[in-house]
Structure 1
């Protein structure tokens, strides 16, 4: 393939832009905010699991406390009824004595239920404290995630702006180059890690960095200025200038 030496040198300008675009794409993929957001998502998921377990513990205690309160109310109703009957004092002595025994039993039962309820209420207070602490941690983690997402969006917007700027600069360069040269360059770039053309400097290929020796060096040196020369090792387009050292 033939191409004006100036066009070949301008191909390096295109390569510089493409290298910059590749670097921006890499930066887009590897933004630290991506990992930060993912880590915070995992943290939030774990905290949400903790919150659910803590809420279940509080709900279970609330249910047990409510059950005990109903039991206490039932005992009080029975006590009031027995006390009313005892106050009236009517009925056989044995029945009144039985009422007194039942009242004593109900008092003990009420005391036991109220003690159990008090213990559960203390446990509930502790469980609520655990739940409140988890919810505070959740709120903090959500704020951190929102901040990381905001910083990520800002970084992505900056990258997009740079990409658009570079892409806009690439278009006129490519438009002024021979189509077959650009096609060859793009094909090589796609299969060679993003590098399609490289400057020969100091007798070395700028693509694979290998020094040119013997017949290979002679071949390149003898090639016409408008000949599109490719490296035998990496197959990239070798752009020659007066500083190539050939």
Structure 2
């Protein structure tokens, strides 16, 4: 392939931009905030699940407490009614009196048991409320931390996007100066060689693979016409001669 030396030199400018664009893309993919957001999202999910479980348990305890208190009220009402009957003296036979007294004792015992259940439920609820409050506060703290990290990430992304836009504009301008066939050849080699399609020959060494050329290879390059598009025998990238080539 033939190409003006000036056009070959422009490939180095294009390569420099493509390398910077690749570094910017790498930075965008590997922002430390990305991993931090993932970690915080995982923690937020765990805390939300825990908070949901606690609020569900509290709701169940509410129903349990209401039922226990209702049972206490029913037993108390029945015991009060029996006590009033007993106090009124309007009880029939001695057997009825004995039965009523026994029932009052039984109701009092049952009331005590139910009141203990209510107290136990209230204690469990107090413990769960403490856990729920702690989890809720931690959740709010982690969510606030995530918001701060997301803001930092957005700022970093905006800065990288601005740099990329500048580089893309420069790239378009330089690409217009390069013949289509040379540009297509460079693009093909760039895609095949880890993002580097053209490299400078500096002091007898290829900037692409960083290997020194042999004496015979340098001799062939000296004899090649200036418009000959050369390639490195090692990495097969376009090899652009410069004033520092050492030939």
Normalization by structure 2: what TM-score? 0.95
Give the aligned partner of residue 135 of structure 1: 136
Give 1:55 deviation, angstroms: 2.2
> Which has the larger displacement, 153-162 or 50-59?
50-59
Give the aligned partner of residue 96 of structure 2: 95
Give the aligned partner of residue 218 of structure 1: 219
Give 1:97 deviation, angstroms: 2.9
**How far apart are the structure 2 equivalents of 1:126 and 1:69?**
19
Give the aligned partner of residue 153 of structure 1: 154
Kindly report which structure 2 residues correspond to 1:37-116, keeping only aligned pairs within 5 A, or say none. 37-90=37-90, 91-116=92-117
**How far apart are the structure 1 equivalents of 2:46 and 2:193?**
43
**How far apart are the structure 2 equivalents of 1:245 and 1:197?**
18
**How far apart are the structure 2 equivalents of 1:50 and 1:158?**
37
**How far apart are the structure 1 equivalents of 2:163 and 2:116?**
70
The Cα offsets for residues 49-92 of structure 1, whole Å up to 9 and x where unpaired, read as 22222223322322221221121011012112212211221122
Instruction: Name the SS for the 1:239 alignment partner.
Output: strand
The unaligned stretches of length 5 or more in structure 1 are none
Kindly report which structure 2 residues correspond to 1:29-44, keeping only aligned pairs within 5 A, or say none. 29-44=29-44
Instruction: Name the SS for the 1:190 alignment partner.
Output: helix
Give the aligned partner of residue 187 of structure 2: 186
Shift >4 Å, 4+ stretches: none
Asked whether the 8 Å contact 1:5–1:226 carries over to 2, the reply is: yes
**How far apart are the structure 2 equivalents of 1:36 and 1:177?**
43
**How far apart are the structure 1 equivalents of 2:114 and 2:11?**
89
Instruction: Name the SS for the 2:99 alignment partner.
Output: helix
The Cα offsets for residues 181-218 of structure 1, whole Å up to 9 and x where unpaired, read as 11111111111111111111110011111110032222
Give 1:96 deviation, angstroms: 2.3
Number of aligned residues: 246
Give 1:119 deviation, angstroms: 1.7
Asked whether the 8 Å contact 1:228–1:237 carries over to 2, the reply is: yes
The unaligned stretches of length 5 or more in structure 2 are none
Give the aligned partner of residue 12 of structure 1: 12
Give the aligned partner of residue 119 of structure 2: 118
Instruction: Name the SS for the 1:207 alignment partner.
Output: coil
**How far apart are the structure 2 equivalents of 1:152 and 1:137?**
22
Asked whether the 8 Å contact 1:203–1:211 carries over to 2, the reply is: yes
Normalization by structure 1: what TM-score? 0.95
**How far apart are the structure 2 equivalents of 1:9 and 1:155?**
33
Give the aligned partner of residue 229 of structure 2: 228
**How far apart are the structure 1 equivalents of 2:98 and 2:242?**
121
Asked whether the 8 Å contact 1:36–1:148 carries over to 2, the reply is: yes
